[in-house]
Structure 1
């Protein structure tokens, strides 16, 4: 007897309404996960310093999920008042998706790794840069 595999659910936090690179990256990640059969529950993290002009459907209430995926950069987490209060991490696996595009990660920013189980990066360049200082796995 075949038992169906339960659908994986991911809570995606990101700048989904943002008309800038991190916003487009978060939207691409949502589309890729959906195309792979993953159920994506999302929350927008609009930034007052950026244009937020991408239309979004109404977010649905979160149900239990296997993964919390936070699609932003560590400098945004550090510099945006109240952003961490909007991110309510409840899932057993917590992943940061960081597109850090500089060769070195600033000293003193290691606190950004706190609360995360791993980092995902869009390129080997980003992964190499973050991997030099990360206390968690980087892919």
Structure 2
């Protein structure tokens, strides 16, 4: 069921504010970004109107995947989280970015809530 929900989330990326990594050749994976580490209240990326160029923000990127990242296979209903910190270390403390431990807790809570909501939406869409 987890793989089906992850594919559902990927197909409705704008609804859940995630990017489907299948378009880059990585199946069963989505990514989202948070400039602060709080994945529940993510500010939008900065987009300049003249060039339509997205300026990358520091913070964290969260990858959700059902693909095994080690030699050990994953359980059938398991998802792996990869939390990647992209804030330059020279910014130091007080830059508005959560510490890694707190960001990981936020990511775990966000993932649980994301799958709970997606399950409700998927069930509704099937009816």
Query: Does TM, normalized by the shorter one, top 0.5?
Result: no
TM bucket (normalised to shorter chain) is under 0.3
The TM-score, its normalising length taken from structure 1, stands at 0.25
TM-score normalised to structure 2 length: 0.26
Give the structure, 1 or 2, with the largest relative contact order (CA under 8 Å, sep 6 or more): 2
